Amino acid sequence: MSDQPAYRFAVNVTPKPGILDPQGRAVEKSLPHLGIAGVSGVRVGRRVELTVQAVDAAAARDVVERLASELLSNPLMERYEVEALA
């Protein structure tokens, strides 16, 4: 619908440091059952991939930043990183 260029991004959302992550802890506890040792600090988050049409890459990233901070993550408990995809 727009003839603006399309940019593909990923937003990686993870629990903030210090926030209890029961999913990560459950994963970590299961590792001995697989016979795996030496793994720690497991944190489970989510990854959202999306396409944005905008005038340029910077404008597209602005949209993603807003989306990531207002909707895709809750800054009280999560942090996010925006990753540009090819």
Binding site for another protein (CB under 8 A): 19-20, 22-23, 26, 71-72, 74, 76-77
Measured from the CB atom, is 18 or 41 closer to another protein? Answer: 18
What CA–CA distance (Å, rounded) separates 61 from 82?
Answer: 8
In contact, 80 and 13? CB cutoff 8 Å = yes
What CA–CA distance (Å, rounded) separates 45 from 48?
Answer: 10
CB of 55 to another protein, least distance (A): 25
**Phi and psi torsions of 44, nearest 5°:** -100, 125
CB of 63 to another protein, least distance (A): 16
Measured from the CB atom, is 60 or 72 closer to another protein? Answer: 72
